[in-house]
Chains A and B, each alone.
Chain A
């Protein structure tokens, strides 16, 4: 318990220090932008980790909720005259409602069947976004009005760095909170043995649904934040490849580890930026790095490294 409490504190402390210190070593605003991108993706990944890492349910369509959040803040102010901040909340609510309605039948499925069902959900949402171009601008995407909070227009790459960093910190705090509660324990229990969780009274369907809805809201908020930050949004954010990217972040960082999800996001966002110097070899190297990382650190980066550290410390 004490160890766990420390881990919880440690994760938050590391994250806070990193967010606070990085700006001192950033040479240009480009770095602020990339870092903000990492914070936003990490927020979605931390949420998805609650579903995949804690409750053990795969979602290959999670970008759908990311897209709903993003398009809510684009469409709300542009077409419906809803203030930006309200659109953000409406997007999160929509995502939660969709996750709730679809989650009930979907989460009865197991393993690969669940994977294909969530994948189908993701593809459908992405298709609607791409096709209904009078609302969404179609494949070309649409501009997003800047976020205005109490008359303060949130803009500039360093401002967004702090906003997204703060969001991630809060999201991480909540995810860590959840771990040590009856709900968090129910998630982990049904992950390890559904039948054992059931016979001690855990309503497995209800808790899977809760995890799905929580993860959907995280993704939606992350999507909204990205849309505000970029001032522009296109359907790729809701697409299958983005879903895969989110899953890869969680698995690469280490399923079940909150810090792992953040590290996974950081690797997957910064790597392509770093690899652009290799130009056409970018995808080749990205694929190669994913394969090699998963073979040699099959439990993910953070769990593999921390067990290595523990072993080093013992010997």
Chain B
């Protein structure tokens, strides 16, 4: 079964093809990793799939429905959630409020009760806060709940973004370098967390530079190079493919590595 399917995605900026003919699909509970050297188009691909950019060509289907060109919040309504490579946290809100915003689609949001602070609003607020605190606990940030997110360290912000994305209870989760800037222990925790999420039946698409994490966690790996798909396969297949080494290290480097 496939939940997210991207077919022949292409987008260019000022004549440069940032992503060109990339296809992938992922099913519930699966973890697909997208790797490739810097500038391979991984983040751009994420931006297209999550509706932040409009694709120049190709199609995106979510649970069988054609969602190509839909706005990000429409995709979120259909169960797609994501994190960002270069943090997009709500700096002036507390960590807990950040996650509470993640619950946005799960909340009733009518204006008049909000203006007059009816009991139902206060009750819902309590529930949302409880749910947010539980998620913060999952990512190890419970103690930071009432601290302004802008003053959290980088690694904590990364985990905060994951908690916020999870708060929406997504069916598909796109994670853009969740382990960047994290130490070994934190990376371990994130590894654990991602697996847990997948076990709950969420389809996970992961962009990550930490190869140890990628090799350990992924069901399948898609390698991009200069916007084009290079190899797709299981971690073992990808690891043993000489083209992948070459893409990362160049021909010369690949020979060196092979000799080593």
Is B a genuine binding partner of A? yes
A residues within 8 Å of B by Cβ? 1, 3, 174, 177-178, 180-186, 188-189, 191-193, 195-204, 210, 256
* B125 in contact (CB, < 8 A): yes
B83-104 contacts to A (CB < 8 Å): 84, 88-93, 96-97, 100-102, 104
Stretch at the interface among B73-81, B188-196, B219-227: B73-81
CB pair A200 B71 closer than 8 Å: no
CB pair A198 B111 closer than 8 Å: no
Which residues does chain B contribute within 8 Å of A178, judged by CB atoms?
A: 114-115
Taking A178-B115, A188-B90, A197-B90 as given, write out 7 further A-B residue pairs in contact, using a Cβ cutoff of 8 Å, ordered by the A residue number.
A183-B114, A199-B50, A199-B72, A200-B81, A201-B73, A203-B73, A256-B92
Q: How far is the CA of A31 from the CA of B89 in the complex (A)?
A: 46
Which residues does chain A contribute within 8 Å of B93, judged by CB atoms?
A: 185, 188-189, 192
The B interface, classified by DSSP as helix, strand, loop or mixed, is helix
Q: How far is the CA of A306 from the CA of B142 in the complex (A)?
A: 27
A-B contact list, 10 entries, CB within 8 Å: A181-B109, A183-B111, A188-B90, A188-B93, A191-B92, A197-B90, A198-B52, A199-B51, A199-B80, A199-B82
- What distance in Å separates the Cβ of A195 from its nearest Cβ neighbour in chain B? 6
Which residues does chain A contribute within 8 Å of B102, judged by CB atoms?
A: 200
Most chain A CB inside 10 Å of its own CB: which residue of B52, B114, B116: B114
Q: Contact partner of A196 among B90, B111, B116, B128, CB < 8 A?
A: B90
Q: How far is the CA of A199 from the CA of B73 in the complex (A)?
A: 5
Residue of B nearest to A197 (CB): B101
Q: How far is the CA of A180 from the CA of B101 in the complex (A)?
A: 11
CB pair A196 B114 closer than 8 Å: no
Residue of A nearest to B102 (CB): A200
Q: Knowing A174-B116, A183-B109, A199-B72 are in contact, say whether A1-B129 is a contact too (CB < 8 A).
A: yes
CB pair B81 A188 closer than 8 Å: no
Which residues does chain A contribute within 8 Å of B75, judged by CB atoms?
A: 199
Which residues does chain B contribute within 8 Å of A196, judged by CB atoms?
A: 84, 88-90, 164
Which residues does chain B contribute within 8 Å of A188, judged by CB atoms?
A: 90, 92-93, 97
Q: Knowing A183-B114, A184-B114, A185-B101 are in contact, say whether A200-B164 is a contact too (CB < 8 A).
A: yes
* B26 in contact (CB, < 8 A): no
CB pair A201 B109 closer than 8 Å: no
Q: Could you mark each residue 102-141 of chain B with 1 if its beta carbon is under 8 Å from any beta carbon of chain A, else 0?
A: 1011011101001111000100110011000000000000
CB pair A200 B167 closer than 8 Å: yes
* B165 in contact (CB, < 8 A): yes
Which residues does chain B contribute within 8 Å of A1, judged by CB atoms?
A: 96, 129, 146
Q: How far is the CA of A183 from the CA of B146 in the complex (A)?
A: 19
CB pair B115 A174 closer than 8 Å: yes
Q: Contact partner of A198 among B76, B92, B165, CB < 8 A?
A: B76
Q: Knowing A192-B90, A192-B91, A195-B72 are in contact, say whether A200-B121 is a contact too (CB < 8 A).
A: no
CB pair B117 A202 closer than 8 Å: no
* B6 in contact (CB, < 8 A): no
* B168 in contact (CB, < 8 A): yes
- What distance in Å separates the Cβ of B127 from its nearest Cβ neighbour in chain A? 11
Residue of A nearest to B99 (CB): A200
CB pair B105 A200 closer than 8 Å: yes
Q: Please list the 10 inter-chain residue pairs (A to B) with the smallest Cβ-Cβ separation, ordered nearest first.
A: A201-B76, A196-B88, A198-B72, A181-B114, A201-B105, A192-B90, A177-B117, A182-B109, A193-B88, A182-B107
Residue of B nearest to A183 (CB): B114
CB pair B77 A201 closer than 8 Å: yes
CB pair B81 A177 closer than 8 Å: no
Residue of A nearest to B145 (CB): A1
Q: How far is the CA of A109 from the CA of B111 in the complex (A)?
A: 24
Q: Knowing A181-B121, A201-B76 are in contact, say whether A192-B52 is a contact too (CB < 8 A).
A: no
Q: How far is the CA of A180 from the CA of B81 in the complex (A)?
A: 24
Q: How far is the CA of A3 from the CA of B145 in the complex (A)?
A: 13
Most chain A CB inside 10 Å of its own CB: which residue of B89, B104, B111: B104
Most chain B CB inside 10 Å of its own CB: which residue of A174, A192, A199, A202: A199
CB pair B114 A186 closer than 8 Å: no
CB pair A186 B101 closer than 8 Å: yes
Q: Knowing A1-B146, A199-B52, A202-B104 are in contact, say whether A193-B89 is a contact too (CB < 8 A).
A: yes
Which residues does chain A contribute within 8 Å of B124, judged by CB atoms?
A: 182
Which residues does chain B contribute within 8 Å of A193, judged by CB atoms?
A: 88-90
Q: Knowing A195-B72, A199-B50, A201-B73 are in contact, say whether A182-B89 is a contact too (CB < 8 A).
A: no
Q: How far is the CA of A178 from the CA of B114 in the complex (A)?
A: 6
CB pair B107 A200 closer than 8 Å: no
Q: How far is the CA of A66 from the CA of B3 in the complex (A)?
A: 51
